[in-house]
Structure 1
Amino acid sequence: MGLKLDGIASFVAVAESGSISEAARRLQLAKSVVSERLAELERALGATLLHRTTRRLNLTEDGTAFLERATRIVREVEDASADMAERRGTLSGPMRISAPVTFGRMHLGPALYPFLAEHAAIEMTLEFDDRRVDAAADGFDAVVRHGPLLDSRLVAWKLAPSRRVLVASPAYLKRHGTPSSAQQLQDHRAIFYTNRGVADWRFEGPEGAVVVRARAALRLNNGDVMHDAVAAGLGLGLMPSFIAGESLRQGLLQAVDIGLETPQEWLYVAHPEGRRASAKLRAMVEWLRTAFGDPPYWERWREPLTEPVRRAAAKRRQSG
């Protein structure tokens, strides 16, 4: 019995994800199909590749030895397919992308819809998750992320510059006053984004980094809820302008200036090191750069308001 490519691909997906259920989800197959393909592969090889337990699948010694070559076979076939598509001048085939939840909903999805409409042969899977996934181990072609690049095994392309903005609702500032220094900021209530792994705010001053530890009113791991909590007047938040920009422009939120800057950060697309970036991934990156602009459109909150928007913002502040 010869080896079948679909069995090898199923084995690689199971090894990367650690379970048949997750591998089946990635491959868009039934669990029973993936299980049968694995069993057929093991029969063809005459070896057991996986230890099956009630909780997780672990590679056997033979499985570990086979995985490196199996992964290379799958990647080579994917690259060959991508090369043929490029030769035909088309972008086609599967793409699996991970992105943060709020950025994905507000900006990435709307930017990608026309791209996918133009390149209808691309089969994209978008998975929104604020945790920092392992692009290679979790089987992603690329990840979209905001902030510092912490994984040295990734090759990153910058999409757009980004800075976080200290914001509060007009109602909160009316009740508690507007801080104008880092020292005053420590007396205010803070809403912290926990996925950054810190419970403080970091700024840049003339003499270096300034760390502020305000009183935590709420800790959470979602940008949408963070925005809503700040808008509801629970405290101040330090959030990316791609989240706060439109609310700042409409007067729902107000930027707070304490005389310090926030560190420069970036939105980027990163793919696993050692894996050739496909033509469709390169095309997607260029499309997103154009769609977001330079500077990105969510920085327009810094521009002067038009008169109708100014009147509406003033009315909201008065009612608050």
Structure 2
Amino acid sequence: MKASLDDIYLFMLTVRHGGISAAAKAHSMQRSKISRRIQELEQALGCQLLIRTTRQIELTENGRLFYQYINQPLNDVTQAVSLLENQQHAFSGRLKIAIPAAVVASPVFLDLLDSYSAQFPDVTLDIVHRHESVDLKRENIDLQLLPNVVDVINDDYVQQTLLSSSNRLYCSPKYLESSSLPTTMEELYQHPILSSRYTSALLPDGMNLRLVSEDFGLIKLLTETGRGIALLPIVLFKEQVERGELIPVMHDIFELDIVMTLVYPSRHFIPEKTRAMIELLRNNFSNRYKFS
């Protein structure tokens, strides 16, 4: 499917007038026609150009680049079409992924990144630590991994369950200098608990929750200095447990699992480099896999 110059022209008018309705009114056209033709243009180019809201339109990053190129003499417009079409199929450029710190630091995820980089050496992986759901289109983020306790801000985004992350209770030898190790839930309620925001939402009512933080480094430091019992991802602290720096608490009784979800803007307009990462995640992680 080839991009139509008429559709490109309507897209350009829409941007210039600041919206589909304004462009339709200025040129005595039906709003539905302009909207449909722009959708056809997006289908032809294989990427989304506009973010549509009830009051206005915004340009996606691809839309901004495309308008920048087409707002030139006609000779450059054809080049702009080819450029964007090639960009959608190229295994190069930047792939931006938003990931919680607990996931990005895990060995299993680092192995996955190594595998992707080995297959596609011309793609730059841009990893950002985000603990909340973000507007992927406006922030130009291709993929996000989120715990299922976090609500995705846009219901239109694709959401796919991938894996579960196990969390257990730990304390330090320093803590045991002044407190005894709890062995029952009733005893656990008497101890100060340190937790991440995600796991704190799953704790039973009545827990003595003293600290909630998204910084696992801070939680670990407070735990090591005897400030309380921490609920931490198993995968991040195996070495500290093996060295005796952290002591498992009620490991045979208390464990929380958080399901991780892969989020991306649309099933359509997926660049090939993004599709490859999605497939890699699907092939490596599933509901049967436990992130522990």
| 1:246 is aligned to 2:239 | yes
Tell me if the contact between 1:248 and 1:255 (Cα under 8 Å) persists in the aligned partners: yes
Tell me if the contact between 2:171 and 2:229 (Cα under 8 Å) persists in the aligned partners: yes
| 1:120 is aligned to 2:121 | yes
| 240-249 or 73-82, which deviates more | 73-82
Show CA shifts across 1:133-157 (max 9, x none). Answer: 2334433221022344633434344
- Output the CA distance in 2 between the equivalents of 1:272 and 1:146: 17
Deviation for aligned residue 1:197: 6.8
Tell me if the contact between 1:130 and 1:222 (Cα under 8 Å) persists in the aligned partners: no
Show CA shifts across 1:207-260 (max 9, x none). Answer: xxxx341141x3322223222322232111112222233322332212111764
- Output the CA distance in 1 between the equivalents of 2:200 and 2:38: 36
Match of 2:182 among 179, 182, 198: 179
What TM-score does the superposition give when structure 1 sets the normalisation length? 0.58
SS of 2:237's equivalent in the other structure is helix
- Output the CA distance in 2 between the equivalents of 1:72 and 1:246: 54
- Output the CA distance in 1 between the equivalents of 2:23 and 2:166: 45
Report the structure, 1 or 2, having the larger helix content: 1
| 1:265 is aligned to 2:255 | no
Match of 1:228 in 2: 221
SS of 1:163's equivalent in the other structure is strand
SS of 1:124's equivalent in the other structure is strand
Structure-2 change in CA distance of 1:153 and 1:127 (3 Å): same
Tell me if the contact between 2:167 and 2:255 (Cα under 8 Å) persists in the aligned partners: yes
Tell me if the contact between 1:82 and 1:279 (Cα under 8 Å) persists in the aligned partners: no
- Output the CA distance in 2 between the equivalents of 1:279 and 1:169: 47
- Output the CA distance in 2 between the equivalents of 1:46 and 1:63: 8
Deviation for aligned residue 1:63: 8.5
Deviation for aligned residue 1:192: 2.9
Show CA shifts across 1:48-91 (max 9, x none). Answer: 42xxxxxxxxx796489789976874575245547745xxxxx3
| 1:130 is aligned to 2:123 | no
- Output the CA distance in 2 between the equivalents of 1:110 and 1:281: 18
SS of 1:239's equivalent in the other structure is strand
Match of 2:45 in 1: 77
Match of 1:141 in 2: 142
Show CA shifts across 1:170-219 (max 9, x none). Answer: 32134211111222112111213235674x723xxxxxxxx341141x33
Show CA shifts across 1:270-319 (max 9, x none). Answer: 212443544433432454577789756x73xxxxxxxxxxxxxxxxxxxx
Amino acid at match of 1:184: E
Match of 2:173 in 1: 170
- Listed as ranges, the gaps of 5+ residues in structure 1 are 9-40, 50-58, 86-90, 203-210, 300-320
Amino acid at match of 1:104: V
SS of 1:138's equivalent in the other structure is coil
Match of 1:191 among 194, 197, 209: 194
- Output the CA distance in 2 between the equivalents of 1:171 and 1:189: 14
- Output the CA distance in 1 between the equivalents of 2:220 and 2:240: 9
- Output the CA distance in 1 between the equivalents of 2:226 and 2:39: 51
Query: Percent identity over the alignment?
Result: 17
Structure-2 change in CA distance of 1:180 and 1:46 (3 Å): closer
Amino acid at match of 2:164: P
SS of 1:153's equivalent in the other structure is coil
Match of 1:214 among 191, 208, 211: 208
Structure-2 change in CA distance of 1:149 and 1:131 (3 Å): closer
SS of 2:140's equivalent in the other structure is coil
- Across the aligned residues of Structure 1 and Structure 2, the Cα RMSD in angstroms comes to 4.0
Tell me if the contact between 1:144 and 1:269 (Cα under 8 Å) persists in the aligned partners: yes
What TM-score does the superposition give when structure 2 sets the normalisation length? 0.62
SS of 1:170's equivalent in the other structure is coil
Structure-2 change in CA distance of 1:84 and 1:99 (3 Å): closer
SS of 1:264's equivalent in the other structure is strand
Tell me if the contact between 2:168 and 2:251 (Cα under 8 Å) persists in the aligned partners: no
